[in-house]
Structures are given as structure tokens and as C-alpha cells.
A = this chain, B = another copy of it.
Amino acid sequence: MSGNSIGVLFKVTTWGESHGPATGAVVEGCPPGIDLEEEDIQKALNRRRPGRIASSSPRKEEDAVKILSGTFQGKTTGTPISLIIHNTNVDSSAYEDIKDIFRPGHGDFTYFKKYGIRDYRGGGRASGRETAARVAAGVVAGKIISREGMEVIAYTKSLGGIAIKLENMEAQEITRENIGESRLMCPDADAAEKMEAKLEEARRIGDSLGGIVEIIVRGCPAGLGDPVFDKMDADLAKALMSIGTVKGVEIGAGFTVAEMAGSEANDPITTDGFLSNHAGGILAGITTGEEIVIRIACKPIPSISKVQKSIDVQGMPVELSIKGRHDVSVIPRIIPVCEAMANIVLADHLLRQKAIV
């Protein structure tokens, strides 16, 4: 495997560079008979599109998806679903000035070391552009798991050091509604306002911000996942860590378990289910039936206009300032990508479980 696929039975293979003619995904293993139209996918792609927030990328990504195979009369047929998104509005000229320079924080240097080739037109396969294909594929996965009552919700938990506070929120819980009302996909309106100010400040000084996204899976039955290498949490960790921006993944109580005693960390089991959910819905790699709770750490976008030190292809030192108006944070654009990756892992394990029982 050349690393372009994820999943065993529900499998997604993506292809395409940021500045090539198109990007796409081949989605295998989707059962026949599921309603699937281009507009279902388009809606998800629109959520990922730049321009949601003021300080967003100037590149107008149309992201118009086409279904090239795998459906007939609006339903899946069981055969591979080929999805294509043409790269309109591709302008590589912005990269001409830095074509020989390795941008810090990007994959330019490592890509060159791996392949011995410098495709200077953006990030190639490591570009955020590739995630459009994931989002498209994730819609198909989402249809499979929603048939079983599962739902994945992701939202901005913190941005630039500002975290939401459940107790400040009217609803005191995370819902699709209170996330959806927010431009930043942040359910706490107060926090969202402060985040916006932080973003504006960062944009002003030519810098960028990181943050934390939480992904919640509701309605997942007990019994999905494997007890050894393909643990549900291991597969979710891989899927989410495979998003370029992610530097950390934690499940349930996550890193805080390191300071807990067993009597605190263990979730007592009762006839009504678990009394707590430090496990984050997964025990021994298999789902418990409780909410699956995952958090990821997103690094600040590496493209900043502040001057940075680097080297060029010849190994000579350079200083660079990345021009153009880039996104200031991958949040909230990364959120549909997180949902897509969780959808894909869940759909795969759901199908795998079918072959067991």
C-alpha cells in the first residue's frame, strides 16, 4: 500500500495534488441501495470551503463535486464510488517566488527528501486541498453509519488559547444547533466572540493560531472495534493524526488520566450503563455504547506573513514572508474533515463487525 487508502472494508483512496487539474476519492465497500446524490456531498464540501471566516484564504475553491461511478438512479450500487473535484481557480504564480524555498512548518523539505522532487506548486499531496476528497468520501461513510443511528459531531473547543465553558452556555451541552449557529463552529457564543477578536489580532500582525477540536460520536452501539492493533481508538487516532495539522489525539479523559488514580479513572458499570465516561466510549479498543469523545490539537497554520528563516533547495539560507491572505487558523475549516475521518473509521468497523456476528 502506498499510503493513499484508509479502511479495510469501507475503504477510501484519495488522489490529487493541490495544483493539479483535479483531486478525488475512490470509495469502496459502500453497500448497495443507499441514497446518494451529488448535492449531499456538495453540502459537506461547502462547510469546508474557505471564506466562512473573515480572515480566510483568498483562493476561491469552488469544490464542485461530481459522482463518476457507483450510483444508479440516485442509489449506490455496491461498486466503487468515484468522486472528482476539479481544481478551478488554480493559480500557481503565487508560488513562483518561493519555488526553491522550503517553507517552515510545511512539508516542502520532507517531501523533497522523500521523493527527490520539488513540486513547488503548493503542498502537493500534503496540501490541505487533499482534505476536500476526504470530506466528500466522509459523506458516504456518514450515510452508512446514520442508518444505524450513529452521528458524529465536531466543534471548536478552543482557539488561540480561548476555550469554551459548558457552564457558560445556555444549553449546557453540545448540540448540532449551537455549533451550527456559530461561524467558528463554537457552541459557546461568548468564547466565540473572544476567538474572533484573537483571530483578527493574529491576522493583523501576520501570524496564525492553533486550537483544539472535540469530536463526539453519538448513538454508537457497543461492540465495534478490535481488541488488538485495530482498536477503535487506535484507528481513530491514526485517521485524525493523518490530518496534516494535528499534533495530538486523546480519547475520553485523555492526558488527564496520567494524574488519576484507578479508582477515579475506572468508570463504574451499572444497570443503567456507565456512571462516568473517562474511557471516552472505548474499552480495550471496542466501543462501550457510551459517547465516543476525542480531542485533537491543531497547530497554527504555518503560512504566515511574518518574516521567517529557512533554506532553499541548494541549502542556502533565505528569509521569507509568505504573501497573500492565508487562513489564520485551520479552525473551523478542519472540523468537517475531522467528522469525515471519524465517519470513515466508524463505517469501516461497522461493516467489519457484520462479518463477525
> Which A residues form the contact surface with B (CB < 8 A)?
1-6, 8-9, 11, 13-17, 20-24, 26, 28-29, 31-33, 66, 68-70, 72, 75, 77-82, 84, 102, 104-107, 109-111, 113-117, 119, 121, 123-126, 130, 158, 160-161, 202, 207-212, 221-231, 233-235, 237-239, 241-242, 244, 247-271, 275, 278-280, 282-289, 297-304, 306, 308-311, 315-317, 351-357
Query: With A68-B16, A263-B304, A300-B261 in contact, is A77–B109 under 8 Å at CB?
Result: no
Query: A280 CA to B351 CA in the complex, in Å?
Result: 30
Residue of B nearest to A162 (CB): B259
Indicate if the CB atoms of B260 and A299 lie closer than 8 Å.
Answer: yes
Query: A3 CA to B29 CA in the complex, in Å?
Result: 9
Chain B proximity of A268: nearest CB distance (Å): 4
Indicate if the CB atoms of B284 and A107 lie closer than 8 Å.
Answer: yes
Q: Which of B109, B249, B308 contacts A249 (CB 8 A)?
A: B249
Residue of B nearest to A354 (CB): B355
Q: Which of B1, B17, B31, B269 contacts A311 (CB 8 A)?
A: B269
Query: With A248-B250, A253-B247, A257-B300 in contact, is A263–B308 under 8 Å at CB?
Result: yes
Q: Which of B69, B119, B280, B308 contacts A247 (CB 8 A)?
A: B280
Indicate if the CB atoms of B26 and A15 lie closer than 8 Å.
Answer: yes
Residues in B neighbouring A303, C-beta threshold 8 A: 262
Indicate if the CB atoms of A26 and B9 lie closer than 8 Å.
Answer: no
Chain B proximity of A289: nearest CB distance (Å): 7
Query: With A110-B286, A287-B110 in contact, is A77–B117 under 8 Å at CB?
Result: yes
Indicate if the CB atoms of B355 and A265 lie closer than 8 Å.
Answer: no
Indicate if the CB atoms of A269 and B102 lie closer than 8 Å.
Answer: yes
Which 5 A-B residue pairs are closest in the complex by CB-CB distance? A107-B284, A3-B226, A3-B230, A248-B250, A110-B286
Residues in B neighbouring A26, C-beta threshold 8 A: 4, 13, 15, 26
Please indicate which of the listed interface residues A121, A257, A268 has the most CB atoms of chain B within 10 Å of its own CB.
Answer: A257
Please indicate which of the listed interface residues A28, A81, A284 has the most CB atoms of chain B within 10 Å of its own CB.
Answer: A284
Query: A173 CA to B229 CA in the complex, in Å?
Result: 32
Query: A255 CA to B214 CA in the complex, in Å?
Result: 13
Indicate if the CB atoms of B109 and A222 lie closer than 8 Å.
Answer: yes
Residues in B neighbouring A259, C-beta threshold 8 A: 158, 160-161, 210
Q: Which of B111, B212, B228, B266 contacts A304 (CB 8 A)?
A: B266
Residues in B neighbouring A308, C-beta threshold 8 A: 263, 266, 268
Indicate if the CB atoms of B80 and A299 lie closer than 8 Å.
Answer: no
